[in-house]
Structure 1
Amino acid sequence: MKDLHKSALDSNISELIMCQNEVDLAIKSLHCWMKDESVSTNLFTKLSSAFIRKEPYGVVLIIAPWNYPLNLTLVPLVGALAAGNCVVLKPSEVSKNMEQFLAKVLPRYLDQSTFTVMLGGPEETTQLLENRFDYILFTGSPHVGKIIMTAAAKHLTPVTLELGGKNPCYVDDDCNPQTVANRVIWFRCLNAGQTCVAPDYILCSREMQDRLVPAMQSAITRFYGDDPKSSPDLGRIINQKHFKRLQGLLDCGRVAIGGQSDETELYIAPTVLVDVQETEPVMQEEIFGPILPIMNVQGPDEAVDFIRRREKPLALYAFSNDSEVVDQMLQQTSSGSFAGNEGFAFLTLPSLPLGGIGNSGMGRYHGKFSFDTFSHYRSCVLANPGLEKLNDIRYPPYSERKKQFITWALGFQNCTLL
Structure 2
Amino acid sequence: MKSFMRLPCNTTPATAALFAELVPQYFEPEDVSVVTGGREEISALLELPFDFIFFTGSSAVGKVVMRAAAEHLTPVILELGGQNPTIVDETADLDRAAGAIAWGHNAISGQWCIAPGFVCVHDSVADIFVEKLKAAITRMYGADPSQSPDFARMISEKDAQHVAPYILPDKTVLGGRFDVPARYVEPTLLYPSDWSDPAMQQEVFGPVLPILRYGDMATLIEMLKTRDKPLAAYIFSRDEATIEHFLQSVSFGGGCVNLTNLHCWVGSLPFGGVGNSGIGKYYGKTGFDALSNTKSLLISPADKTVDVYPPYEDKDIGAMLAPFS
Coarse TM-score class (shorter-chain normalised) = over 0.9
Given that 1:160 and 1:362 are in contact with CA atoms closer than 8 Å, whether structure 2 keeps it comes out as yes
Matching of residues 113-124 of structure 1 within 5 Å: 113-124=30-41
Matched with 1:109 is: 26
Q: What amino acid is aligned across from residue 271 of structure 1 in structure 2?
A: T
Matched with 1:369 is: 286
Matched with 1:396 is: 310
Matched with 1:405 is: 317
1:263 paired with 2:155, answer no
TM-score, structure 1 as length reference: 0.74
Output the CA distance in 1 between the equivalents of 2:81 and 2:89.
Answer: 25
Matched with 2:72 is: 155
Output the CA distance in 1 between the equivalents of 2:87 and 2:320.
Answer: 53
Deviation of 1:414 (Å): 9.3
Matched with 1:351 is: 268
SS in 2 for 1:318: strand
Q: What amino acid is aligned across from residue 217 of structure 2 in structure 1?
A: P
Q: What amino acid is aligned across from residue 76 of structure 2 in structure 1?
A: V
Given that 2:111 and 2:206 are in contact with CA atoms closer than 8 Å, whether structure 1 keeps it comes out as yes
Residues 177-215 of structure 1, C-alpha deviations (whole Å, 9 max, x = no match): 221110001010010001101110111222321011110
1:206 to 113, 120, 123: 123
Given that 1:355 and 1:362 are in contact with CA atoms closer than 8 Å, whether structure 2 keeps it comes out as yes
Matched with 1:10 is: none
Output the CA distance in 1 between the equivalents of 2:177 and 2:278.
Answer: 33
1:253/1:131 CA distance change after superposition, 3 Å = farther
Deviation of 1:144 (Å): 0.2
Matched with 1:27 is: none
Residues 2-23 of structure 1, C-alpha deviations (whole Å, 9 max, x = no match): xxxxxxxxxxxxxxxxxxxxxx
1:330/1:414 CA distance change after superposition, 3 Å = farther
1:197 paired with 2:114, answer yes
1:183 paired with 2:97, answer no
Consecutive unaligned residues of structure 1, counting only runs of 5 or more, are 1-83
Matching of residues 267-346 of structure 1 within 5 Å: 267-346=184-263
Instruction: Give the share of equivalent positions with the same residue, in percent.
Output: 36
Q: What amino acid is aligned across from residue 159 of structure 2 in structure 1?
A: H
Matched with 2:168 is: 251
Over the aligned positions, Cα root-mean-square deviation in angstroms equals 2.0
SS in 1 for 2:116: coil
Output the CA distance in 1 between the equivalents of 2:138 and 2:230.
Answer: 30
Deviation of 1:121 (Å): 1.1
Output the CA distance in 2 between the equivalents of 1:277 and 1:325.
Answer: 23
Matched with 1:144 is: 61
Matched with 1:383 is: 300
Q: What amino acid is aligned across from residue 175 of structure 2 in structure 1?
A: G
Given that 1:260 and 1:269 are in contact with CA atoms closer than 8 Å, whether structure 2 keeps it comes out as yes
Matching of residues 2-17 of structure 1 within 5 Å: none
Residues 113-152 of structure 1, C-alpha deviations (whole Å, 9 max, x = no match): 3111101111111111111111100000000000001111
Q: What amino acid is aligned across from residue 74 of structure 2 in structure 1?
A: T
Deviation of 1:413 (Å): 11
1:226 paired with 2:148, answer no
Consecutive unaligned residues of structure 2, counting only runs of 5 or more, are none
Runs (4 or more) in structure 1 with deviation over 4 Å come to 412-415
Residues 258-291 of structure 1, C-alpha deviations (whole Å, 9 max, x = no match): 1111123111111111232312321110010011
Aligned residues between the structures: 325
1:320/1:253 CA distance change after superposition, 3 Å = farther
Given that 1:312 and 1:335 are in contact with CA atoms closer than 8 Å, whether structure 2 keeps it comes out as yes
Matched with 1:93 is: 10
Given that 2:23 and 2:32 are in contact with CA atoms closer than 8 Å, whether structure 1 keeps it comes out as no
